[in-house]
Structure 1
Amino acid sequence: MKKKISFSGKGNRADIGDIAIHRILPNRYANAVGPFVFLDHMGPQMLTKKMKAGTGAHPHRGIATLTYILSGEGEHYDSAGNHAKVRSGGIQWMKAGSGIIHDETANPDSQTANPYLHGFQFWINLPSKIKTEKPEYMDIQAAKVPLKQLPDDSGWLKVIVGSYEDLKSGIPNYSEQFLYHIHLEPDKRVSVSFTEKTEVAAFLPAQNAKINDAEYLAGEFVEFDRNEGEIEIKNTSKDVLDILLFGGEHYDEPIVAMGPFVMNTEHEISQAYNDFYKGKYGTINYKNKS
C-alpha cells in the first residue's frame, strides 16, 4: 500500500549574504520530521570571488548540524578546534552539544574548479539526555558515503544518515533516523518501504517528479502519513532526478527552539544564551584560514 500525502508546499527565502537560501523546514505545516527540525536548501547558483558566501561565526546548542554538499566546497571552523574542507558529494556533521561556535564558508570545488554551489543544511534534534554533552565534529568525503546501485539500471541511493538494507552511514544515530539521496534515471522508478509510525518527508531540490501517482514540482517539500506503506518515485522527464527522503521516529520530548538553539524548555534556552554571552562556547582560531 502506498503512503498518503499529508501536505506539500515550498519554502521561503532566507538568504545568507549572497547565498540563495530557501528555508524548507520548519514551515507552516510542520515543525519537525522525526528528529529533523530544520532544513535550508542552498543554491543552486554560481559562486564568484566578490560574493559573500559564508554564515559568519555563530553558536549552536542542543542539536547536531549536518551539511550535505551536492556541488561546491564547504569549509568548516569551530571553537573546539576543528577545521576541514568537504568537497562535492561530502558531508559535515557537528554535534553542538553543550555549546559551540562554528563558521561555514562556501567555495568552488577546489578539485574540479566547478563554480556552482548546491547543498543542504539540516538540524537534527538531540535527545535531552545528550543535549549538553561535549561537542563533536565529523567530515565524510564523497567517496566514503555509502551508495547502492538500484535495480534495472535505475540509478543509485546514498545513505547520508541512518541505514538502508546492508548500508549504514558513519554519522552517529541517537534515535531512529534516516536521510537518503536518490538519483533516478529518466523513465525509471523506485519504491521505498517504511514501517508504521515512521515520520517521513521528501524534498525535490531541482526537478519535478511523480510521487505516489501525484505530480510535484521542483522546490516542493512533501510530508506523508505515519501508516506503514511505500513511497513510489517516478522520473517522467528526460533528465536525471535527485530527491531527498528523510525522517525517523517521532521526537516525543518538548521542543523549544529560538535562534540557533533547540532545547526542551524555555529555561534551557535562556541558559543557552546566558552561557554564550559569558563566553563559555569558546572562540574560533582562524590561523589556518585559506
Structure 2
Amino acid sequence: MKKQTSFSTKGNSADLGPLSISRMLPNRYADKVGPFVFLDYVAPAIKEIITTNGMGAHPHRGIATLTYVLQGEVEHFDSAGNTGKIHSGGAQWMKAGNGIIHDENFNYDSQTDSKYIHGLQFWLNLPAKNKAEKPAHLAIQANEVPIKTLPNEDGWIKVVVGKYEELSSIIPNYSAQFLYHVHLNAGKQFSLEIKDKIEVAAFLPTQNAVLNDTEFQKGEFVEFDREAGEIELKNTSDVAIDILLFGGEEYTEPIVAEGPFVMNTQGEIADAYRDFYAGKYGKIKLTK
C-alpha cells in the first residue's frame, strides 16, 4: 500500500545574512517532521564574493543544527572552539545542547571551478534529557557520507542521517531519524517502505518528480501520512534528479520554540535568553 500525501508547499522566502533562502519548515501546515523542526533551503545561485567574517553569529539551545551542502563550501566556527570546513556533498552537524553561539561562511567550492552554491540547513529537536548536554560538532566530508549504488543503474542513495540497510551515518541518533539523498537517473525509480507512525517528508531541490503517482514541482516540500506504507519515487524526465527524504518517530514531549531556541517549556525559553544575555554561551574566538 502506498502512503498518501498529506500536503505540499513551496515555503516562504526569507533572508539569511547575504543569502536568499526559502523557509520550508515550519510552514502553515506543519511545525515538525519527526525530530526535524526547521528547514531552510538555499537555491542554486552564483556567489562571486568570498565571505570570511560569517553570515551573522547567533545562539542556539536545545537542538542540533545540520548543514548539508549540495554545491559549495561551508566553514563553521562556534563559541565552544569548534571549527570545520566542508565541500560539496559534505555536512556540518552541531549539537547546541545547553547553549552555544555559532556562525558560518557559505562560499563557492574552492576545490572546483564552479561558483554555484546550493544547500540546506535543518534543525533537529533534541529529547529533553539531551538538551542540557555539552555542545558538540562534526564536520563530515562528502566521502564520509555513506552511499549505495542502486541496481540497474537507477542511481544512488546517500544516508546523511540515520540508517538504511547496511549504511549508517556517523551523526548521532537521539531517536529514530533519517535524512536520505536519493539521486535518480533519467526514467528510473526507487521505492522504500516506511514503518507505522513514522513522520516523513520529501523535498525536491532540482527537478519535478513523481511521488506515489502524483507529480510534484521543483522546490516543493511534500509530507506523507503516518500509516505504514511504500513511498515510490519516479523520475519521468530525461535528466537525473535529486530527492531528499527525511523524518523519524514523532517527538512526543512538549515543544516551545522561540527565535533560535527550542525547549520544552516557556520557562526554559526564558532561561535560554537569560543565560545568553549573561554571556554563559561564551564568545567566538577567531584565530585569523
Settle same-fold status: TM greater than 0.5.
yes
Contact 1:58 1:102 survives alignment (8 Å) = yes
Partner of 1:147: 147
Partner of 2:161: 161
Partner of 1:35: 35
Structure 2 counterpart of 1:270, which letter? A
Q: Does 1:177 align with 2:182?
A: no
In 2: Cα distance, 1:87 partner to 1:50 partner:
14
Contact 2:2 2:230 survives alignment (8 Å) = yes
Partner of 1:132: 132
**Runs of 4+ residues over 2 Å off in structure 1:** 50-55
Contact 2:9 2:222 survives alignment (8 Å) = yes
Contact 1:154 1:184 survives alignment (8 Å) = yes
Please report how far the alpha carbon of residue 18 of structure 1 lies from its aligned counterpart in structure 2 after TM superposition: 2.7
Please report how far the alpha carbon of residue 55 of structure 1 lies from its aligned counterpart in structure 2 after TM superposition: 2.8
Please report how far the alpha carbon of residue 7 of structure 1 lies from its aligned counterpart in structure 2 after TM superposition: 0.7
Partner of 2:192: 192
Structure 1 counterpart of 2:236, which letter? T
In 2: Cα distance, 1:96 partner to 1:17 partner:
20
Instruction: Evaluate the alpha carbon distance shift between residue 44 and residue 52 of structure 1 in structure 2; reply closer, same or farther with a 3 A threshold.
Output: farther
In 2: Cα distance, 1:281 partner to 1:267 partner:
18
Partner of 1:93: 93
Structure 2 counterpart of 1:45, which letter? A
Structure 2 counterpart of 1:42, which letter? V
Contact 1:40 1:121 survives alignment (8 Å) = yes
In 1: Cα distance, 2:20 partner to 2:37 partner:
20
In 1: Cα distance, 2:54 partner to 2:258 partner:
21
Instruction: Evaluate the alpha carbon distance shift between residue 68 and residue 53 of structure 1 in structure 2; reply closer, same or farther with a 3 A threshold.
Output: farther
In 2: Cα distance, 1:85 partner to 1:226 partner:
37
In 2: Cα distance, 1:84 partner to 1:191 partner:
35
After superposition, residues 36-75 of structure 1 pair within 5 angstroms as 36-49=36-49, 54-75=54-75
What's the RMSD between the two structures over aligned residues? 1.2
Structure 1 unmatched runs, 5+: none
Structure 1 counterpart of 2:239, which letter? D
Partner of 2:282: 282
Structure 2 counterpart of 1:233, which letter? L
TM-score by length of 2: 0.98
Contact 2:51 2:105 survives alignment (8 Å) = no
Structure 2 counterpart of 1:261, which letter? F
Structure 1 counterpart of 2:230, which letter? E
Instruction: Evaluate the alpha carbon distance shift between residue 81 and residue 51 of structure 1 in structure 2; reply closer, same or farther with a 3 A threshold.
Output: closer
In 1: Cα distance, 2:213 partner to 2:53 partner:
39
Contact 1:261 1:272 survives alignment (8 Å) = yes
- Describe the superposition over 1:184-204 as per-residue Cα deviations: whole angstroms up to 9, x where unpaired: 000000001111111000000
Contact 2:185 2:239 survives alignment (8 Å) = yes
Structure 2 counterpart of 1:266, which letter? Q
Please report how far the alpha carbon of residue 54 of structure 1 lies from its aligned counterpart in structure 2 after TM superposition: 4.4
In 1: Cα distance, 2:36 partner to 2:22 partner:
16
Instruction: Evaluate the alpha carbon distance shift between residue 187 and residue 53 of structure 1 in structure 2; reply closer, same or farther with a 3 A threshold.
Output: farther
Stretch of structure 1 that moved more, 172-181 or 52-61 = 52-61
Partner of 1:226: 226
Structure 1 counterpart of 2:99, which letter? G
In 1: Cα distance, 2:284 partner to 2:111 partner:
26
Name the SS of the counterpart of 2:274 in structure 1: helix
In 2: Cα distance, 1:51 partner to 1:147 partner:
31
Please report how far the alpha carbon of residue 108 of structure 1 lies from its aligned counterpart in structure 2 after TM superposition: 1.2
TM-score by length of 1: 0.97
After superposition, residues 192-211 of structure 1 pair within 5 angstroms as 192-211=192-211
In 2: Cα distance, 1:126 partner to 1:141 partner:
24
- Describe the superposition over 1:139-190 as per-residue Cα deviations: whole angstroms up to 9, x where unpaired: 1100110000011110000000000000000000000000000000000000
In 2: Cα distance, 1:63 partner to 1:254 partner:
14
In 2: Cα distance, 1:88 partner to 1:159 partner:
15
Instruction: Evaluate the alpha carbon distance shift between residue 106 and residue 50 of structure 1 in structure 2; reply closer, same or farther with a 3 A threshold.
Output: closer
Structure 1 counterpart of 2:134, which letter? K
- Describe the superposition over 1:106-125 as per-residue Cα deviations: whole angstroms up to 9, x where unpaired: 11111113211100000000
